[in-house]
Amino acid sequence: MNTAPETVSQNTGSSLFDIASIRSDFPILDQEVHGHALVYLDNAATAQKPQPVIDAIEKYYRRDNANIHRGVHQLSERATRDYEESRKKVQQFLNAADSKEIIFLRGATEAINLIAQSYGRSQLQSGDEIIITEMEHHSNIVPWQLLCEQIGTVLRVVPFNGRGELSMEEFHRLLNPKTKLVSVVHVSNSLGTINPVEEIIEAAHSQGVPVVLDGAQALPHIAVDVQKLDCDFYVFSGHKLFAPTGIGALYGKRELLEKMPPYQGGGDMIRTVTFNKTEYSALPYKFEAGTPNIAGGIGLGAALDYLRTIGMDAISNYEHELLVYATQTVATVPGLQLIGTAENKASIVSFVLDGIHAHDIGTILDHQGVAIRAGHHCTMPVMQHYGVAATARASLAFYNNRDDVDRLVAAIHKAKELFGR
């Protein structure tokens, strides 16, 4: 994942990667925007869906639409089977020890809130410290701030340097007997930095401190083995992983999940209910109150099947070469400053242009058929670190290619031309 300048082969990943075939699996890419062929470079916000995922969702609604776990009729049984099979696929994709360690939720945001309100409120107390980093998404900041307000815990923040790399010296300094939880982004959504989570976990565990990893931006790009990492919790969102919106998962070590109280109450998370007492279901259903996003869960399973057919190592290698090419090519634009130049990066190219606001860049690029993200990317502290209001962010996926990068750079030049820069 080293993104230092290097020579990139002209046949990027071609020996392992049939990019034309892959692109044909994503029907949304075959369209024009403002009279130009679409170049979709907003994958960190949400990724597009391959045809097998679309087919799986359509099949559920066309043939199997029924509630799960409760029905004895055939439609319910088929829907339940497919939904629970997807849970096993998540377990296998993460290499979790047990499918009961996989909790289906709306996404990474809800998963972090669950940890904060269930594990945090039951296991932490006033004066305990939680370590996060300066590059966190708001969803890994605000839930902990709420917990601090509720029970008096204290938030400690690890800074990063100008390249977008964590100060591990400061992390080790902040880690102390008062630390009771560490929650860190695996891959930064606004910088692309791949954090040294192995070192973080080892250091935290040496002091008996559990670690939460926000994997929303990691799973689409790199292989993740939660048992090898030995993280205590891992969260992700399906829609960034080529699956539907409104579905994601929390992995948690079983011994931790067992002692955590339910996050929400309602149907399907109970064993028995009386007006005097409620007994809760076993894992994972204790944390899955109400009718879930059944189609989303089935679609997530289909997305993981699709990724496995390509292989995460092949995806990672291809995207690395494409990121190197994109970084080198974008950096040639006069007046452009890259934001986030860590040595170890995933597929994010964030930048600012002299004299042109990021939102104007995004608008002009859209009229050239190039979709990027412009704004603070739900990481306002990162923007404050660099002294900018917003950045333009091009985020790559394995269905992007060098032509997409060249179109991006041409559109940036067009923006400079329109602004007389």
Which residues participate in catalysis according to the annotation?
378
> Alpha-carbon distance 185 to 105, whole Å?
18
- Alpha carbon distance 303, 239 (integer Å): 10
Angle at 397 (CA atoms; ends 13, 32), nearest 5 degrees: 110
Torsion-angle region of residue 52: left (phi > 0), alpha (psi -120 to 50) or beta? alpha
Q: How many other CB atoms sit within 10 Å of the CB of residue 203?
A: 17
Phi, psi angles (nearest 5°) of residue 218: -85, -50
- Neighbour tally for 295: CB within 10 Å: 22
As a whole number of angstroms, the distance between CA 278 and CA 273 comes to 4
Tokens 């939680």 belong to 130
Choose among 262, 252, 268, 314: nearest CA to 15.
314
What's the rounded Cα separation, in Å, for the pair 237 and 198? 22
Q: For residue 10, give every residue at least 6 positions away whose Cβ sits within 8 Å of its Cβ, in sequence order, or none.
A: none
Beta carbons of 344 and 2 less than 8 angstroms apart: yes
Amino acid in position 160: F
Copy the structure tokens of residue 97.
């020890």
CA distance 157 to 179: 12
241: Cα separation from own chain's centroid = 8
User: Which residues touch 198 (CB under 8 Å, ≥6 apart)?
Assistant: 229
Q: Is the dihedral of CA 166, 167, 169, 175 positive or negative?
A: negative
